[in-house]
Structure 1
Amino acid sequence: MSAAYVMSDCWTMTRRELAHWARQPVQVVVGLIFPIMMLLMFGYLVGGGRGIEGEYVDFLVPGMLTLTMVFGLEGTMTAVTQDLDKGVIDRFRSMPMADGAVLVGRSVADMLQSATGLLLMTGVGYVIGWRAHGGFGAFLGAMGLLLLLRFAMLWIGIHLAMIAGRAELVQAVQILVWPIGFLSNAFAVPESMPGWLGTVVAWNPMSATATAVRDLFGNPGGEPGHVVAAVVWPLVLLAVFFPLAVRKFRRLSV
């Protein structure tokens, strides 16, 4: 099967997912607004940030951008399980289509929404006083790291969705994402936490991305040298879960 054929199949499946946006605009809008609400809530209601040098909003916004890349997977997970329940994926598998094109199409659509969400979040961040001081190249690098983390988390979600198999089980699986998001340095520095908890937070892949992004933005909490970890962690997760998801897809209904 030629690369052009595979790309054509993947783009067809991407268009299918984008067509769902037009039919379900409320779901898309809610997905974009929810992280903005969290940013405003933590910035104005819960904000404080023990042990943080400088303005808390400059520390918070990069953390919230990172947290947004980890959360919000339930939309993709639900879409995958609904296609499984309705037999849509079995029908696609019976067609002369590239293996995994359905999953790639779903992931591309999710990444487009994630990129849109990042732009909205950075815009809101500027409104509430956050600034990126690292230059345009560093800004693009930080955005790239955030989207790389999202891409890795997305394939974990797709794999777990196919294991769950039913939409009603997605909520139970989604709960597993919350500890990853909150046991991180998104809202506070590890030094302000109990020793054992700070160690767990420091080893969280999301913390590596948040620290690297803060450094590229020139914000408090950033440390040089974390860009490598912010690249390696997602690539390791992708190396594990991407082939697992494709393998699980190939074995459906076998």
Structure 2
Amino acid sequence: MTVITAAGPAAPVRSDELRPRPRLGALTAEAVFIRRSLTHSLRDGEALLMAIMLPVMLMLLFTFVFGGALDPSGGYVDYVVPGIILLCAGFGASSTALYVARDMSSGVIDRFRTMPLHAGAVLTGHVVASVVRNLLATAVVIGVAVLVGFRPTADLAGWLGAIGMIALYILAITWLFAAIGLAAGSPDAASGYGFILLFLPYLSSAFVPVETLPEWLQWIAENQPVTPVIETIRSFLMGTPMEDSGWWALGWCLAIIAFAAWWGAWLFRRKAGRR
């Protein structure tokens, strides 16, 4: 015989289960993703090592191989180090495009979409971690430069000004690389697109004075962001005339940050479906 029992009343749904989960605070979300990106950086020690070794090798190449021809007095290392610092920043920041593109293509962003956090926290984590990595790499490069003969004349105020300019440039180019990583269709494409930006220091006053370049190239060197940034750092460290380079460097960096942050936020909302 089959016994049919009446189903009991359904358990009432608690009101707190119907309410949407609150979003994490902005600082909490950003801190989580900064720690995540820094952890990935420590695990990817080879990328950090290459970001340091490549600029150091270029500095040694230009100092000991080309330096005698460019400046027979032996002071070429003092001229070239500010440009090498920006090369170091570029190499280090380029990995941000790869990390962001990898997150977008691996599906981890879809998991983040289900969490009550701010969409911009993901990008902020990558950018802040990259700035920290690049400042450490820059310190190593400057230390090696001192070992091979770099003798800056800056006082404390000059060093603080140079560090501030370097940090602002790193922040600007890192945001730009993060946006490139979002725009790219794959990590390989992101690496290729970002590599184009690494040529800008070669078309500036990083290695030779602008006036020694061909006339058509002088216009490019004078009207791109790297030249005023280099001249500003060179002025802080070596006491050369700054003129209006400082204002141009500040304006370029702030404009790049504003554009890259807006572009990156738009791309993230478009690709990840977040508001």
Scaled by the length of structure 1, the TM-score of the pair is 0.91
Q: Is the 1:67–1:186 Cα contact (8 Å) retained in structure 2?
A: no
Instruction: Work out the CA distance in 1 between the residues paired with 2:263 and 2:124.
Output: 14
Instruction: Work out the CA distance in 2 between the residues paired with 1:13 and 1:52.
Output: 49
Q: What one-letter code is carried by the residue in structure 2 that aligns with 1:245? A: G
Q: What one-letter code is carried by the residue in structure 1 that aligns with 2:170? A: R
Q: Is the 1:215–1:224 Cα contact (8 Å) retained in structure 2?
A: no
| Aligned counterparts, 1:1-254, within 5 A | 5-48=25-68, 50=70, 55-218=75-238, 222-254=241-273
- Alpha-carbon spacing, 1:246–1:53, altered in 2? closer, same or farther (3 Å): farther
Q: May I ask how many residue pairs the two structures share in their alignment?
A: 252
Deviates more, 1:27-36 or 1:49-58: 49-58
Q: Is the 1:50–1:192 Cα contact (8 Å) retained in structure 2?
A: no
Instruction: Work out the CA distance in 2 between the residues paired with 1:51 and 1:148.
Output: 30
Gaps of 5+ in 2: 1-21
Instruction: Work out the CA distance in 2 between the residues paired with 1:52 and 1:170.
Output: 41
- 2:66 aligns to what SS in structure 1? coil
Deviates more, 1:63-72 or 1:190-199: 63-72
- 2:189 aligns to what SS in structure 1? helix
Gaps of 5+ in 1: none
Scaled by the length of structure 2, the TM-score of the pair is 0.85
Shift of 1:28: 2.0
- 2:67 aligns to what SS in structure 1? coil
Deviates more, 1:198-207 or 1:71-80: 71-80
Q: Give the aligned partner of residue 14 of structure 2.
A: none
Shift of 1:50: 4.4
Q: Is the 1:70–1:149 Cα contact (8 Å) retained in structure 2?
A: no
- Alpha-carbon spacing, 1:111–1:105, altered in 2? closer, same or farther (3 Å): same
Sequence identity of aligned pairs in percent? Answer: 28
Instruction: Work out the CA distance in 2 between the residues paired with 1:53 and 1:142.
Output: 25
1:61-116 deviation line (CA, Å, top 9, x unaligned): 11211222233333111111111111111211221011210100011110011110
Higher relative contact order (CA 8 A, sep 6+): 1
Instruction: Work out the CA distance in 2 between the residues paired with 1:94 and 1:49.
Output: 60
**TM superposition outliers: structure 1 runs of 4+ over 4 Å:** 48-54
CA-based RMSD of the aligned residues comes to 2.2
Instruction: Work out the CA distance in 1 between the residues paired with 2:225 and 2:108.
Output: 34
- 1:132 aligns to what SS in structure 2? coil
